[in-house]
Amino acid sequence: MSTLTDEKPWVAPAPVINAEHVSMTFPAQRALDDVSLQIVPGEVHALLGENGSGKSTLIRILSGYHTPDPGSVLEIQGEQLPFGSLRASHAAGLRFVHQHLALINEFNAVENIALDSGFGRPKWIDWEAQAKEAERLLARLNVEMDIWRPLSEARPVERSAVAIARAINTDSGRVSCVVLDEPTSRLPEPEVEQLFSIIHDLRRDGIAVLYVTHRLDEVTAIADRVTVLRDGKKRGTVQGSDIIRERLVELIVGEAIAKRRATHSLRHESETDRCLLRLEGFSAGRVDDVSFTLREGEILGVVGLAGSGHEDIARALIGAIPREAGSLWVGDTEVRSLTPRKAVDLGIVLALSNTVAGSAVKEFSVSENLTMSSLSRYKLRLGLIRRRPQRRDARKWIEDLDVRPSDPDATYGRLSGGNQQKVILGRSLNCNPKVLLLENPTAGVDVGARQIIYQRIIEQAKSGLAVLICATDLEDVTSTCHRVLVIRAGKVVAVVEGDYDERRLMSLAANGGDGDPPRTSQEGVGAHD
Amino acid sequence: MTELSETETTHREEWVTPMTDSANPVGKPDGQPRTLRIGKILAVRNIGAIYVWLVIVLLFSVISGSTFFTSDTAKAVLNQYAITGIVGLSVIVPLAAGVYDLSIGSIMGLSGVLAAYLLQHTSMSPVVVGAVVLLLSVVIGLANAFVVAGLKVNSFIATLGTGAILTAITTALSGGLVITGRIGGTFSQLATTSFGGIQIAVGYMLLIMLMLGYWLERTQSGRQIYATGFDGETARLTGAPVTRIVTLSFVTSAAISGFAGMVLAAQVASGSPDVGQSYLIPAFSAAFLGATQLRGGRFNPWGTVIGVLLLGTGNVGLLVAGGPTWTPNLFVGCVLIAAVALSATHEGGRSRIRRLLTTKVGKS
């Protein structure tokens, strides 16, 4: 068993996966272009890249879903992997834990793990044996959880643990490499650490982990080596102390963009004094007795750990979550009852993350989504709506936000996450709002789209829009906000202004005080020895 | 080697961003060459039903020869299926809004019987009778909306229930008998007026098709109906009056099917309590088949009328060819399943129908 440390120079053991000159050409595009990659036992190898960089294609080739171009070489533990066969990939010991985990939430852990191993040999299911097996697998990951409870009641990280336990179930053959596809996309922040300790346990057992993500902070935290893809090409593999944020950003987006980003300070500080939104003793959902004001031209951040209630503020401010107490002023008038409809009339618009339900209509075209909440502007006699100005506005936003493809008739559901998010932002801005409420505006969004979104938010604020950003990803706030509210257990525990960084916000959100180390979870999962 | 891959990357970028070349003066509309657009319009997945319809016409022309391929057959299809078309159009509005209205058959029965009853037992003029029946249909639509949006009952179950209640009322009103008195006069002109052998009901169907088409595609409330049906939560959060939209869709389907019930009563010169139910399956078949046509997975009036013509031509053709009387039902059943299976392979349509079959709709 080989372990990797930062001090020793890295000596390559025989790789589990040896991919050489792997290319994949689709009818209209080259998804992968001459990519070579080695993954060794007991390493966490991160595969990093923007949406559309070729990460998914590479995984699908490994899983036997796609057949690569002739000339591609793919060896698993020294043996050539037959292409295009799911069975062969499984037999070679490759296991995949997909982003959506593929679990049945109404089933408990035992049933979910048993699903994959075919419930054992005999005709009648021996539930006791199945339970022991589930316990053994979860114990191997150092996870303690109630295996008889339906997964719908389990914590997100426990669900991930069950999916990983199922993947490493050796009943179905030896396991050489576990591929984790965006494993943290559904995990709240405090549980990410626990997932990491599960991954450490896998590594300790000599299993190679291919960790696919576009989140840099995770890569710097967990990866032994990082391979970066961009436009289907490998841009480099970095390891050990070379895994630095700036270097990775450069590889992901290309040097040109990285440099522009470095010289362009996004933090915005100009605002007038006109108050557009004022809350006093406001309670709704998990939000508990919150007071603040939002001024014209201001970008106010609201952060907190997942579950702290900070996400509820945006929804509560359009009346989507009923208010329980407190008062709300819009401009100088007090608003006593609020519904999403009334909020739109008042100029308060909500833009959700493209990853959650209720953010946009997947079946609608880009143009229909862009104009759907501002249709009354295009009204003609008899209630008919004019199409030409609608299309013109749609094109304007597509160009302004660089939505790709730039076809207004493209189906929204087929766009990548970043482009979906741009459409959601465009739809909100097309209402000419006074107050824009954003909830996790860059979840599932790649680095390039992120920059465009930040820039547009700042531009709009400079021209007078008041923006409220409720974010779990602190980069959203540090890139745009001058003032940040930190929420813990539904209450504002700190207001940070001017010079601050992510570390400070994180420690405030975790403990409510400066300087202390972040609270660690006391719950059963991930007690690392 | 390097050069080769460089050019391929460039090629790919061009493919991803067609907008860059459509920005030049010779730009093509919507970044697509004209031939591609026409190809898209004529594609099987866009107007497949029209091709199937042509095949059916060709098939029966070969089988039955001169007895099928005549203007009389065409008129028969139109006249006999105009009411099916009207009922089919009535269901697309609730379907587009994401709810089922299964009570339309019962509404047809009730409106026909009520019209006949009022004509027989009161001295109301046919015009007043028509207005009263339409008003009652609107009230029924409001009741459906109340059960679905107010009591939060799944629309499938809710309208199955209200349908049964309406059938009971109809039977009580008619005593289970067919009412025929005084319906043959002025009232029957509602259906029997014809122009060159084509009955006025065909005109009703086309008029309703045009009205619904403009409403759904070119008005704010129409767009909100689709938004609500596709994604009720998004519609709500972006400020659409979801409850009002669901109510509007039930009122529309009730009013149109109530109207269809009257036209039917006028056509057969009697108010019959159980005649409406036989229109339910053909109406839904046409609506689902229509959803696979022209608008990529959306319920739409144009596709629905195409669907009705396809059903009508098939059924009339089967009968002309000497098929037994059970063949039309067989044909309709096959078309319904084929239409839903087709829309399941249609992107958008799949999730659309899955949602219709699984979710509780009418959340406010």
Domain boundaries, chain B: 46-358
Give me B93's structure tokens. Answer: 């509005």
Do A256 and A148 fall into the same domain? no
Q: Is B75 on the interface with A (CB under 8 A)?
A: no
Does residue B6 belong to the interface with chain A, where contact is any CB pair within 8 Å?
A: no
Q: Does A422 touch chain B (CB under 8 A)?
A: no
Structure tokens at B277: 């139910």
Q: What confidence score (pLDDT) does residue A25 get? A: 87
CB distance from B233 to chain A under 8 Å? yes
Predicted local confidence at residue B11, as pLDDT: 37
Residue-wise pLDDT for B318-364, tens only, equals 888 888 889 888 998 888 888 777 766 654 444 455 455 444 443 33
* CA-closest candidate to residue A396, choices A458, A469, A456, A479: A456
How far does the CA of residue B33 sit from the closest CA of chain A (Å)?
13
| Whole-number Å distance between alpha carbons of A262 and A348 | 33
pLDDT over 80 (residue A98): yes
Nearest CA in chain A to B219: A384
Interface of B with A in 162-221 (CB under 8 A): 214, 218-221
In angstroms, the separation between the Cα of residue A340 and the nearest Cα of chain B is 5
Contact B31 A407 (CB under 8 A): yes
Same domain, A309 and A452: yes
For testing the chain A interface, which of B20, B237, B245 should be mutated: the one with the most A CBs within 10 Å? B237
Determine the Cα–Cα distance for residues B103 and B83; give it in Å rounded to an integer. 16
Q: Which of A90-99, B8-17, B68-77, B150-159 has the highest mean pLDDT?
A: B150-159
Whether A7 and A89 map to the same domain: the answer is: yes
pLDDT tens-digit readout, A301-347? 998 876 678 888 999 999 999 999 999 999 889 999 999 999 999 99
Residues A314 and A438 in one domain: yes
pLDDT of B336: 83
Residue B22 pLDDT exceeds 70: no
Domain shared by A333 and A452, yes or no: yes
Residue B146 is given by DSSP the state I
Tell me, what's the ipTM? 0.80
Buried b (16+ CB within 10 A) or exposed e, B350-359: ebbbebbeee
Q: Is residue A490 part of a domain?
A: yes
pLDDT at B149 exceeding the cut of 80: yes
A residues 423-462 closer than 8 Å to B (CB): 427
Mean pLDDT highest for which of A75-89, A93-107, B85-99, B175-189? B85-99
B352 touches chain A (CB under 8 A): yes
Are A7 and A142 contained in the same domain? no
User: How far apart are the C-alpha atoms of B247 and B235, rounded to whole Å?
Assistant: 15
pLDDT, one tens digit per residue, over A377-389 is 898 877 788 889 9
Question: Measured between beta carbons, which residues in chain B are less than 8 angstroms from residue A344?
Answer: 238-239
Half-sphere exposure of B302 (CA within 13 A, CB side): 15
pLDDT of residue A51: 65
Under an 8 A CB cutoff, do A320 and B237 touch? Answer: yes
The region of weakest confidence among A166-170, A275-279, A520-524, B183-187 is: A520-524
Which ranges of A411-525 would DSSP assign to H, the alpha helix? 417-429, 447-462, 474-478, 502-511
How deeply is A245 buried, as exposed, middle or buried, from its count of CB atoms within 10 A (0-12, 13-18, 19+)? exposed
Is A373 among the domain residues?
A: no
Confidence (pLDDT) at A528: 38
Domain assignment of residue A309, yes or no: yes
A464-515 pLDDT per residue, tens: 899 999 987 778 888 888 789 999 888 999 998 877 777 677 778 766 544 4
Cβ–Cβ contact A340 with B under 8 A: yes
d(CA B156, CA B17) in angstroms, rounded, equals 44
Weakest mean pLDDT among A98-102, A237-241, A406-410, B348-352: B348-352
Question: Is residue A513 within 8 angstroms of chain B, CB to CB?
Answer: no
Residues 299-318, chain A, touching B (beta carbon < 8 A): 315, 318
Q: What is the pLDDT of residue B228?
A: 95
Average pLDDT, chain B: 83
- Between A and B, how many residue pairs show a Cβ–Cβ distance under 8 A? 120
- A373 pLDDT above the threshold of 70: yes
- Write down the pLDDT at residue B360: 40
- Cα B228 from Cα B234, distance rounded (Å): 8
Give A116 or A218, the one with higher predicted confidence.
Answer: A218
Distance from CA of B32 to the nearest CA of A (A): 9
CB contact under 8 A, A318 and B19: no
A392 part of contact set with chain B, CB < 8 Å: no
Does A358 lie at the interface with B, CB-CB under 8 angstroms?
Answer: yes
* Cα(A190)–Cα(A208) distance, integer angstroms: 25
pLDDT at position A524: 35
Domain boundary among A172, A190, A207: A172
Q: Name, in order, each residue with C-beta under 8 angstroms of B166's C-beta and a sequence gap of 6 or more.
A: B103, B106, B107, B109, B110, B140
- Chain B residues inside the 8 Å CB shell of A403: none
d(CA B284, CA B253): 12
The residue range of the domain holding A279 is 275-359+432-511
**How far A376 CA sits from the closest chain B CA (Å)?**
7
- Are A212 and A317 in the same domain? no
Question: Mutate which of A32, A356, A361, A367 to test chain B, going by most B C-beta atoms within 10 A?
Answer: A361
Q: Is the pLDDT of residue A174 over 50?
A: yes
Instruction: Tell me the residue ranges of DSSP E strands in B108-197.
Output: 194-195
pLDDT confidence band for A4 (50 / 70 / 90): very low
Structural contact between residues A89 and A62, judged by C-beta atoms closer than 8 angstroms: yes
* Pairwise CB contact (< 8 Å): A363 & B240: no
Task: Kindly report which listed range (A80-89, A204-213, A497-506, B231-240) carries the lowest average pLDDT score.
Answer: A497-506
* Residue A34 with chain B: CB contacts under 8 Å: 5
Which residues from chain B sit within 8 angstroms of residue A405, using beta carbons? 16-19, 31
Over residues A69-91, mean pLDDT = 88
Q: Are residues A161 and A182 in the same domain?
A: no
Q: What is the mean pLDDT of residues B6-11?
A: 35
Q: Look at residue B204 in the predicted model and tell me its pLDDT.
A: 96
Mean pLDDT of chain A: 83
- CA B13 vs. chain centroid, Å, equals 43
Before A433, cis peptide (omega within 30)?
Answer: no
Which of residues 143 through 202 in chain A touch B, CB cutoff 8 A? none
Smallest CA–CA distance from A318 into chain B, residue: B237
In the predicted structure, residue B35 carries a pLDDT above the cut 50: yes
How does residue B179 score in pLDDT terms, banded at 50, 70 and 90? confident
- Within 10 angstroms of residue B5's Cβ, the number of other Cβ atoms is 16
- pLDDT at A518 exceeding the cut of 70: no
Q: Please indicate, yes or no, whether residues A118 and A57 belong to a single structural domain of this protein.
A: no
Q: In this predicted structure, which of A136-140, A247-251, A397-401 has the lowest mean pLDDT?
A: A247-251
Q: Note the pLDDT tens digit of each residue in A207-253.
A: 899 999 877 778 888 899 999 998 888 988 988 888 887 788 778 77
Give me the mean pLDDT over the A410-428 stretch: 92
- Asked whether residue A329 falls in the same domain as residue A477, the answer is yes
pLDDT of residue B34: 63
- CA-nearest residue to A404 within chain B is B17
The per-residue pLDDT for A258 is 54
Pick from A232, A345, A405: which is nearest to B18 by CB?
A: A405
Residue A516: inside a domain:
no
Does any domain span residue A524?
Answer: no
Work out the pLDDT band at B7, boundaries 50, 70, 90. very low
The tens digit of pLDDT for each residue in A290-307 reads 999 998 888 999 988 766
- Number of neighbouring beta carbons within 10 Å of residue A170: 11
User: Of A262, A296, A311, which marks where a domain is finished?
Assistant: A262
Poorest-pLDDT segment among A191-205, B128-142, B207-221: A191-205
Q: In chain B, what residues touch A361 (CB-CB under 8 Å)?
A: 226-227, 230-231, 234-235
Residue A218 is part of a domain; what is its CATH number?
3.40.50.300
Among the partner-chain residues B12, B31, B352, the one whose CB lies closest to the CB of A406 is B31
The structural architecture, per CATH, of the domain B46-358 is Orthogonal Bundle (1.10)
Give the pLDDT band of residue A165 (cuts 50, 70, 90): confident
pLDDT computed for residue A117 by the predictor: 66
Q: Could you tell me if B230 lies within 8 Å of chain A, comparing CB atoms?
A: yes
Judging contacts by C-beta atoms under 8 Å, the chain B residues touching residue A29 are 11-12, 15-16
Q: Of A233, A361, A414, which is closest to B231 when you measure between CB atoms?
A: A361
What is residue B353's predicted lDDT score, i.e. its pLDDT? 52
Q: B32–A407: do the CB atoms touch at under 8 Å?
A: yes
Cβ-nearest to A340 among B223, B239, B297: B239
The reply to whether A353 and A492 lie within a common domain is: yes
What was the pLDDT predicted at B185? 76
Residue B23, CA distances (Å) to A406, A411, A472, B19 in order: 11, 21, 39, 6
Q: Could you tell me if A282 and A250 lie in one domain? A: no
Number of domains making up chain A: 3
Burial B44-62 (b: 16+ CB within 10 A, else e): eebbbbbebbeebbeebbe
Set of chain B residues whose Cβ sits within 8 Å of the Cβ of A57:
none
Which chain B residue lies closest to A346 (C-alpha atoms)?
B239
Query: Which has the higher per-residue pLDDT, A127 or B311?
Result: B311
> Is residue A107 in a domain?
yes
